[in-house]
Amino acid sequence: MTNHGYFSGNPKTEWLVDANGNDRDMQVIENFWFIDPEEKTWPAPAGSIINGASIPRPLWPLVGSPYTDDYRRASIVHDVACDDPKVDRKDADKMFFHACRAGGCSPLQARWLYAGVRIGAWANASLPKASLTKETLLFRVPFKTSSEEQLLQEKFHAIAFELTGLPDELPIEAIDAIINKHFKL
């Protein structure tokens, strides 16, 4: 069995009230971290603002919404890593996969969640900026056009189908190969 890493414990957070009514943000109130399988520390320092996993809203019905299930702790360190300009997004997403597994996600669920954050990275880089506001880039509000939602959902369904039934300890490179058939990352 593969060691996927470990967390420093249970995170301590506080809900923040947003003047715009989007009460999804939380603040980390005690230092929290994840140690990945290569012994790299992924910190979420006290004071960090998080908003849940970086999975596009159109995929929430398929993989889950922020702050739910066994990937909650993984989403905290992933949010902080994605906000750090010194961290490569692909590295942050790979860490998210391992953190999902360390947090208790099944191999299939972790693969689907990993695909979701990779699709999020693709959407940030590829969808027309004119159709995305700052909030949609962070996936805090729905996409403005249903065609974008439908595209993401259809591609995710195809990826999820291919990821189902594969060996539990499938290398992340094999998962990437499946995702890259559908999205050029």
User: What are 23-55's pLDDT values in tens digits?
Assistant: 778 999 999 999 999 999 999 999 999 987 677
Cα angle, residue 60 at apex, residues 56 and 64 outer, rounded to 5°: 125
Residue-averaged pLDDT of the chain: 86
Q: How far apart are CA 109 and CA 111, in angstroms?
A: 5
Check pLDDT > 70 for residue 144.
no
Q: pLDDT digit string (tens) for 59-70?
A: 878 887 777 889
Q: How far apart are CA 177 and CA 182, in angstroms?
A: 9
* Share of residues in the chain with pLDDT > 70 (%): 86
Q: pLDDT digit string (tens) for 100-126?
A: 999 999 999 999 999 999 988 888 777
What pLDDT is stored for residue 136 in this prediction?
44
Check pLDDT > 80 for residue 92.
yes
In one-letter notation, the amino acid at residue 147 is S
What pLDDT is stored for residue 129 in this prediction?
56
What pLDDT is stored for residue 24 in this prediction?
78
Local structure of 114: helix, strand or coil? helix
What pLDDT is stored for residue 21 in this prediction?
67
Whole-model pTM: value is 0.86
Task: Give burial (CB, 10 Å; 0-12/13-18/19+) of 41.
Answer: exposed
Residue 152 CB contacts under 8 Å (≥ 6 apart), including other chains: 56, 58, 59, 119, 123, 143
For the chain, which residues make up each domain, given as ranges?
Answer: 52-182
Give bridge partners of residue 27 from the DSSP assignment.
Answer: 14, 49
Check pLDDT > 70 for residue 132.
no
Local structure of 115: helix, strand or coil? helix
Residue 9 CB contacts under 8 Å (≥ 6 apart), including other chains: 32
Task: Select from 164, 176, 66, 171 the least CA-distant residue to 119.
Answer: 176
- The residue ranking higher by pLDDT, 59 or 133, is 59
